[in-house]
Amino acid sequence: MPRDVIDLTKGELRMAKAHQIGGDSKMIEAILQHVANGGSLKQLSDMWDFDYACMRRILNQDHKPEWEAAKDARLEYKQEAIVNELEAIAYSDPTSIFKNDGSLKPIDEWPEQVRKSVAGIDVAETTTDDGETTTIIKKIKLNPKIKALEIMAKEAELLHEKVDVNVKHIDVNEAMEKAKGRLIEGEDKNVDDSTERLPARDYRPDQTINVTAQEADISPATNGRGENPDGNIHAGKRAEQGHEGVLDSTPERADGASSGSPERTES
C-alpha cells in the first residue's frame, strides 16, 4: 500500500479529516449552525475527531464573515441562557414539587423551573428486610431567589448601588501634626540600640574633656594626601585600644595661644 496511507499518524489523520470537512459546504454549514446555537468548535472536534486548530484556520481563512457571525450569535445565545436560568430561580414555586397530602413528588414530575433552581439534594439509602435498597430525599437546597432577583434588577437598571460622595472636613494642621508624629516614631524605631554612645556629661566651653579611645574615634586629620598639615586631632578612625587623649574644645589663635585648638596630651 502507498506510504501516505499506512504511515499517517493520528494527528495527520485528524488534519486530513479537517481538510475533508472544510471542503464540504454542508459540513461547514452544520458547524456554523452548531456554534450559533451555543455550541463550540471544540465539541465538534471531539465528536467528529478532526484537528481543531486546522478547522479553525480553515474557517478564519475561507469562511471568515460566516464564522464571525456564528460566534456573535453564540454569545447572544449564552446571554439569553443565563437570563433564563436566573428567571427560573427567581420565579420558581417550591410548593409545586409537593402533592396535596404534603408528600414529595417524584423528581421527574417536578416543574422545569424548580429543577433549575435546585442547588443540591441530600439523600439517604435504606435497606429493607428483603434486601432491597431505597433512596430517600432528606433535604432539598434551592438557590436564593432574592439574589437572582437582585442580579436581574441591576441588569434591567432597576437597582443602583449607592455611592457616598460626601467629603469629610479635614483639619490640615492636625493632619500635619499627626504625620510628623508618625515620622518621628518611625525614626525612633530605626535607631540601633546596639550602637555605642558617649556618656552624657555636663561641660563648659572652656573645659578640657578627657576621653578614652573606647569612648571616641580619634585620628589625625589629613589633607587627602596622607599629610597632617595642622597637627590637629579630629574624630575619625578608632585609636589603638587603651590609648587616651585630651581634647581642648577651644580653637587655636594665630599667635599660637591656646584659645581652643584641640590639644592632645599623653597620659
pLDDT band at 265 (very low <50, low <70, confident <90, very high): very low
One domain for residues 21 and 84: yes
Average pLDDT over residues 66-80: 95
Whether residue 16 is found in the same domain as residue 84:
yes
Beta bridge partners of 117: none
Report long-range pairs for 89-97 (Cβ below 8 Å, ≥24 apart).
89/116, 89/117, 89/142, 89/143, 89/144, 89/145, 89/147, 89/148, 90/145, 90/148, 90/149, 90/152, 92/116, 92/117, 92/142, 92/145, 94/142, 97/140
| Residue 192 resides in a domain | no
Q: Is residue 60 part of a domain?
A: yes
Residue predicted with more confidence, 24 or 183: 24
Rounded to the nearest integer, the mean pLDDT of the chain is 75
| Per-residue pLDDT at 174 exceeds 90 | no
pLDDT for 104 beyond 80: yes
Q: Is 126 left (phi over 0), alpha (psi -120 to 50) or beta?
A: beta
- Same domain membership, residue 29 and residue 79: yes
Q: Which residues are within 8 A (CB) of 199 and not within 5 positions of it... i.e. 6 or more apart?
A: 215
Residues 247, 260, single domain; the answer is yes
Structurally, the chain folds into a number of domains equal to: 3
* Predicted pLDDT of residue 180: 81
Residues 213 and 261 in one domain: yes
The Cα–Cα gap between 231 and 220 comes to 7
What's the pLDDT at 156? 82
pLDDT at res. 239: 40
Decide if 260 is inside a domain. yes
**Which of 9-18, 40-49, 110-119, 169-178 bottoms out in mean pLDDT, i.e. has the lowest?**
169-178
The pLDDT-based confidence of 184 (bands split at 50, 70, 90) is confident
Per-residue pLDDT tens for 134-163? 888 889 999 999 999 999 898 888 877 766
Specify the pTM: 0.49
Concatenated DSSP letters for 221-238? ---SSS--SS--EEE-SP
Question: In 23-144, which residue ranges form alpha helices assigned H by DSSP?
Answer: 25-36, 41-48, 52-62, 64-91, 112-117
Q: Is 247 within a domain? A: yes
* 66 and 110 both lie in a single domain: no
Residue range 82-98: mean pLDDT, rounded: 93
Same domain, yes or no: 12 and 63 = yes
Asked whether residue 212 is assigned to any structural domain, the reply reads: yes
Q: Which of 88, 120, 142 is the last residue of a domain?
A: 88
Structural domain including 56 reads: 8-88
C-alpha cell at 215: 569612648
Is residue 234 domain-resident? yes
Distance, C-alpha 238 to centroid of its chain: 51
Domain shared by 24 and 80, yes or no: yes
